[in-house]
Amino acid sequence: MPLFDLPSDVLRGACLCGAVAYRAKGPLFCTSHCYCSQCQRQHGIAGSYGNVHAAGFCLELGAGLITEFAKSSAGRCGFCSVCGSMLYWRGAATPERVAVALGTLQPAWTGSVEHELFAQQKPAWLPPG
């Protein structure tokens, strides 16, 4: 069995209502918290994402319930049209990857987050640290 088919390399995630679920080949790479104004409006605070290879990403459940929204010319995000959970982001310049929202991973993501994007736009009301 190829290494990437081992169960420990399989990531799974789902939206809040459970209507949409995805599966991806791990491990995650290039994890980040993004504090841009779009992520703040969309997520309420940071957009926290980790990348997987697009070829290993698939919607296992509820693909027809996904709505994709172009946040900007930079990319599109996919969310559950029932509960509104933001599940992934696809960058126009990086079609070979899909960034999954870390908070949707089940079981919960326990790794570290490597990058902070737009850190200068971090809201002042965030607790320090």
Please give the structure tokens belonging to residue 128: 């320090």
Q: How far is the CB of 30 from Zn ion (least distance, A)?
A: 14
Site for Zn ion in 77-96 (CB under 5 A): 80, 82-83
The residue with tokens 């779009």 is 38
DSSP string, 18-77: SS-EEEEES--EEEEEE--HHHHHHHSS-EEEEEEEGGG-EEEE-GGGEEEEEEETTEEE
Q: Choose the stretch contacting Zn ion; rule: CB under 5 A; options: 5-13, 31-39, 49-57, 102-110.
A: 31-39
Q: Does 100 bind Zn ion (CB under 5 A)?
A: no
Quick one: tokens of 94? 């990086």
DSSP state string for 99-115: EEEGGGBSSPP-S---E
Per CB under 5 A, does 119 bind Zn ion?
no
**Shortest reach from residue 48's CB to Zn ion, in Å:** 10
Among 36, 54, 61, 74, contact with Zn ion (rule: CB under 5 A): 36
Q: Of the listed pieces 18-26, 52-60, 97-105, 121-129, which binds Zn ion according to CB under 5 A?
A: 18-26
Residues of this chain that interact with Zn ion (CB under 5 A) are 15, 17, 19, 34, 36, 39, 47, 80, 82-83
